[in-house]
């Protein structure tokens, strides 16, 4: 019996089931048990995400159970994981990535540019909040938490004019018909790993590592790891809202990153491309270009700022 840790939301369970299905295709004799664990983020459902004093609010309790041997591995949305990886655990399998885009769900199917002045837009993400402020300072951004279905109901009930969510989650839940607009990556640049599901296991559990390696997608791994490295290098441990997206095409990888000032009035962005076999050189070029443009000053500003919605 292989024990798999997961959160209890419908989306988390769907993602975990998809991983189990993929593993059973490699060996139909395998037997799995899902173990649902409540995380800090699940317990404090109404608390703003940016106000948590500890990192990894959607992973810590689950990964601790993996580390202590209570679970064989855990399934997460990669975007929820902290950039600082544990020395005992590893990202054993990054599943083929879904769309990394954000999407808009709105009343009357309006697009982002069509939203009326003063429209109320809900999100739990500081990154999305500051991106909205930069491109549409005339909109009112309101903090919104809860599972995907609950957030969509807020639009249906006209408590919000629109909300912004990750497209991958909408697709996995079969809610594509609710999407009003797919938002472009250079406007709403996602967090590292958005759209990817990851299986986390112990470094020393060779049997589980070998099993999970069979469902690891090399292209998705390259893109997601590059994004995490970029964000880690730029943020220096600060929880600044950094958008970054990497795309591997053949032997080349392109990386685009965007960082916004605390007041939402300034954007520093850069796009670089290079050979995928020297991808860390591409990362260094991107970091250098962003540094020249003054990204460190913006990051330092975020480090000193209490988020104000």
What amino acid positions are annotated as catalytic residues? Answer: 80
Spatial contact of 166 and 194, defined as CB atoms under 8 Å apart: yes
Strand order in the sheet with 102-106: 140-143, 120-123, 162-166, 102-106, 181-182
SS (H, E, C) the chain: CEEEEECCCHHHHHHHHHHHHHHHHHCCCCCEEEEECCCHHHHCCCCCHHHCCCCCCCCHHHHHHHHCCCCCEEEEEHHHCCCCCCCCEEEEEECCCCCCCEEEEEHHHCCCCCCCCCCEEEECCHHHHHHHHHHCCCCEEEECCCCHHHHHHHHHCCCCCEEEEEHHHHHHCCCHHHCCEECCCCCCCCCCCCCCEEEEEECCCHHHHHHHHCCCCHHHHHHHHHHHHHHHHHHCCCCCCEEEEEEEECCEEEEEEEEECCCCCCEEEEEEEEEHHHHHHHHHHHHHHHHHCCHHHHHHHHHCCCCCC
């Amino acid at each position: 019996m292989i024990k798999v840790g997961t959160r209890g939301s419908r989306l988390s369970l769907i993602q975990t089931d998809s991983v189990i299905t993929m593993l059973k295709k490699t060996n139909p004799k395998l037997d799995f048990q899902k173990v649902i664990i409540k995380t800090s983020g699940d317990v404090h459902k109404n608390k703003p995400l940016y106000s948590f004093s500890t990192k990894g609010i959607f992973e810590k309790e689950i990964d601790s159970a993996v580390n202590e041997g209570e679970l064989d591995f855990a399934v997460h949305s990669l975007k929820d994981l902290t950039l600082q990886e544990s020395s005992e655990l590893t990202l054993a399998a990054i599943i083929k990535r879904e769309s990394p885009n954000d999407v808009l769900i709105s009343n009357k199917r309006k697009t982002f540019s069509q939203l009326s002045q003063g429209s109320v837009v809900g999100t739990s993400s500081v990154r999305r909040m500051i991106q909205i402020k930069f491109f549409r300072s005339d909109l009112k951004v309101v903090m919104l938490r809860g599972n995907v279905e609950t957030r969509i109901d807020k639009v249906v009930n006209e408590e919000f004019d629109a909300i912004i969510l990750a497209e991958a989650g909408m697709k996995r839940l079969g809610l594509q018909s609710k999407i009003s607009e797919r938002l472009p990556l250079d406007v709403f640049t996602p967090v590292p790993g958005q759209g990817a599901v990851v299986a986390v296991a112990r470094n020393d559990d060779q049997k589980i590592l070998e099993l999970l390696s069979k469902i690891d997608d090399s292209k998705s791994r390259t893109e997601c790891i590059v994004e995490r490295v970029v964000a880690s290098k730029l943020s220096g441990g600060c929880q600044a809202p950094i958008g970054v997206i990497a795309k591997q095409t053949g032997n080349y990888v392109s990386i685009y990153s965007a960082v916004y000032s605390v007041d939402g009035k300034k954007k520093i962005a850069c796009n670089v491309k290079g050979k995928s076999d020297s991808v860390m050189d591409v990362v260094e070029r991107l970091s250098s270009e962003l540094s020249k443009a003054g990204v460190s000053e913006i990051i330092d500003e975020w480090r000193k700022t209490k988020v104000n919605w």
